[in-house]
Structure 1
Amino acid sequence: MIAVLAAYQLLDVILLVFAAVLISVIFRAVAAPLARLGLSPRLSLTLAVLGMFVLVLAGVWFFGSRIAVQAQVLAELLPEAWGSLQARLLVLPMGEQILNSITDVVPDRKAIVSGAGRFIGSVGSAALEIIVVVAAGIFIAAKPRVYRNGVVQLFPSGRQAQVGETMDASGRALRMWLLGQLLAMTVVGVLTGVGLWLVGVPSALALGVIAGLADFVPLAGPFAAAVPGLLIALAQGPEQALGALAVYVLVQQLEGNMIAPLVTRHVVSIPPAVTLFALLALAVMFGPTGILLAAPLTVVAFVAIKKLYVRDTLEHSTEVPGEDTGPEPSS
């Protein structure tokens, strides 16, 4: 009982631990091809970490200034786009009622200003948490078996083998899901940016980056990413608005009917309704952090339930994601 109460009080820390595990999975996935070339595990991981940092810095160097300029333009255009939307709604028969309904859920300027200080203060805390999570991810990636075996030993000896197998399957499934998700995010970001640029929407590069990053959050992310693009396109004119809408719809159709099936054929396929309810539950429990980690947490829970409950407890035959792939590299 005391352990349950302590875990409840430390839920935010547990989420950070899971985020560190995610980072370690990414580092291990990048290091695995290097290890297959004959490099030692330590050297492979070192090169993987340094390579990822260099890649991030290179991306910031080449695209950071351009994205920053477009983001600034985006921030300046959004208020104008909101004003344009208000003006268009007021000329409709039910426009005033619709506008009142929207403004009831949108914070006013005073609320935004009063919350700006809290937001700025939270940025420093978030940056510190990111540093801690990345550092912990490197430590976990360096010695994954130490932490894995430590968790297994917390369970009764009769269940340790099952728990260990479940953790191994969860790790492999999580790695496959992350690689597939990274591919989908890249395709969505590129197609959205190029499509918006072709239809004449300003700040297409920044909007493409937003769409790609938001695609990490299933179901809700693409809708949230489309809002600023559609608002800005609407301010440019009805033709641009229709073009932007077509771009967002077409990209999501391509992802749902072509990209996702190709990815999930080799990774983890979770029913959309399960993902949706998991997203809602974690949003209520943990807020923005829960939303961000909802999909990978669902992958781990999906594997654990199928392995420990459906197969081992109920003794039903079922395929467990990540179980039939090759063994984890030893460390």
Structure 2
Amino acid sequence: MERKPREGLGARKNSWFWKWFLNNQVVTALLIILLVLLILNAFTKVSYLFDPIWQFMAVVALPIVLAGIFYYLLNPAVDYLEKKGLKRIYGIILLFLVVIGLIVWGVVVIVPKIQEQSVSFANNLPDYLDTIDEKAREILSDPIFSQFQTQIESYSDRLMSWLTDFIQNFSKSTISGIGRFVGAVASVVVAIMTFPFILFYLLKDGRKLAPYVVQFLPNNWRKPTLNVITEMNGQVSSYIRGQLTVAFAVALMFILGFSIIGLDYAVTLGIVAGILNLIPYLGSFLAMVPAVFLAIVAGPFMILKVAIVFVIEQTLEGRFISPLVLGSQLAIHPVTILLVLLTSGKLFGLVGVVFGIPVYAAAKVLVTHLFEWYQEVSQYYYKEEEETPPLKEEQ
């Protein structure tokens, strides 16, 4: 004798409540989001429990970041030496010796030059400001600007008042922040002392890290997760190596250009330009501010020569160096890059500006793979079958 299905269950499945709420993927997704938000809210109530973890991360973050940057920079050279028959550990030691030699050369040659130029600029800064003030007064004395003289003087007074307040506040904050500064210097010293050891083991065993982590996942998750990690690693490594290479090229071009035209402090300005070039799109323009300042002091002809150097540098960088080194591997729209820079800079300051793009590139890879997985398991996405052309009738 066959058992009849319970009428209550069948009626429940055909009810509007079942269709629109219990068996609705949108409602299910909203409930999951609500649960996630509730869990995050619960974590905020007990955030003090995680203070030791955050303190530990604050201590180890800097040496790990430094080791990661140098790992991406040196790992291709280590792989190349290994392919040529040199044992990996010997290749790592050889590169360490080369890097130490470059650092010693920089400390002996470059650092004294930068120190000399920085001290000279600080000593001459009052004279530079007086020169710019005289030239500004000459321009404002022209009859063309006479009708705007009152407004300009008002804005000048406001600017000087703002600068005075800023200097006073900066002095107070500097005095009150000496303890924090000493703590930051101590953290940097500890990071510089420890990151070479982390870098050594990363170069030696870094290839085994991803497979080691993936082995703890379920079997059907291992291959997709390893693919995601490999792609994220490729995106970040190509960006870091490319940006550092372009920054070095930019610094070299500015040093040569400013030296040729006879601009003061060419070495310091070029190094500053290379460092600021790590900020995409905005770094080169920020680096031109001190160069233009010195060019105004030197005279109109120097302004023209500085502009020519800037145009040549931008042309070489944009047309040849960046496409050759970076290419289009990240595939990020320039508008997206600007939005990421603004957002990350607002949230995390200078660190966010420098590391916002590689973090976004890695997150983009993860989100892309998650969306592809959702397309496979969801009923809302499906491949449209191509219409087959009708068969011709045989005559």
Using the size of structure 1 for normalisation, the TM-score is 0.79
Residue equivalent to 2:3 = none
d(CA) in 2 for partners of 1:312, 1:81 = 61
Residue equivalent to 2:341 = 279
How far residue 208 of structure 1 moved from its aligned partner, in angstroms, is 0.8
Tell me the alpha carbon deviations over residues 82-124 of structure 1, each in whole angstroms, 9 at most, x when there is no partner. 4544554455345435545655775633233334443653334
Residue 305 (structure 2) pairs with residue 243 (structure 1) = yes
Consecutive unaligned residues in structure 2, runs of 5 or more: 1-38, 141-147, 382-395
Which structure has more RCO (C-alpha within 8 Å, separation ≥ 6)? 1
Which entry has the higher C-alpha Rg, 1 or 2? 2
Native 8 Å contact 1:70 1:206 kept in 2: yes
Tell me the alpha carbon deviations over residues 21-75 of structure 1, each in whole angstroms, 9 at most, x when there is no partner. 2222223123122111111222222222222222222233233322321232233
Equivalent pairs counted in the alignment come to 315
d(CA) in 2 for partners of 1:59, 1:261 = 29
d(CA) in 2 for partners of 1:156, 1:284 = 39
RMSD, aligned CA: 3.3
Q: Which moved more, 1:200-209 or 1:73-82?
A: 73-82
1:101-112 correspondence to structure 2 within 5 Å: 108-112=166-170
d(CA) in 1 for partners of 2:103, 2:317 = 25
Residue equivalent to 1:309 = 370
1:1-331 correspondence to structure 2 within 5 Å: 1=39, 6=50, 9=54, 16=62, 17-89=64-136, 92=140, 93=148, 95-96=152-153, 98-99=155-156, 108-117=166-175, 118=177, 120-121=181-182, 122-152=184-214, 157-265=219-327, 267-306=329-368, 308-314=369-375
Q: Which moved more, 1:70-79 or 1:187-196?
A: 70-79
What letter is aligned with 2:287?
A
Residue 263 of structure 2: SS of its match in structure 1?
coil
Among all aligned residue pairs of Structure 1 and Structure 2, give the percentage whose two residues are the same amino acid.
Answer: 22
d(CA) in 2 for partners of 1:115, 1:152 = 47
Native 8 Å contact 2:59 2:187 kept in 1: no
Q: Which moved more, 1:120-129 or 1:271-280?
A: 120-129
Q: Which moved more, 1:1-10 or 1:70-79?
A: 1-10
| CA separation of 1:33 and 1:294: change in aligned 2, threshold 3 A | same
How far residue 273 of structure 1 moved from its aligned partner, in angstroms, is 1.9
d(CA) in 1 for partners of 2:322, 2:263 = 27
d(CA) in 2 for partners of 1:86, 1:15 = 46
Native 8 Å contact 1:82 1:231 kept in 2: no
Residue equivalent to 2:14 = none
Residue 201 of structure 1: SS of its match in structure 2?
coil
Native 8 Å contact 2:337 2:357 kept in 1: yes
Residue 108 of structure 1: SS of its match in structure 2?
helix
Residue equivalent to 2:28 = none
Consecutive unaligned residues in structure 1, runs of 5 or more: 317-331
How far residue 202 of structure 1 moved from its aligned partner, in angstroms, is 0.5
Residue 218 of structure 1: SS of its match in structure 2?
coil
Q: Which moved more, 1:269-278 or 1:91-100?
A: 91-100
Residue equivalent to 2:19 = none
Q: Which moved more, 1:128-137 or 1:26-35?
A: 128-137
Tell me the alpha carbon deviations over residues 190-210 of structure 1, each in whole angstroms, 9 at most, x when there is no partner. 211222222221011111111
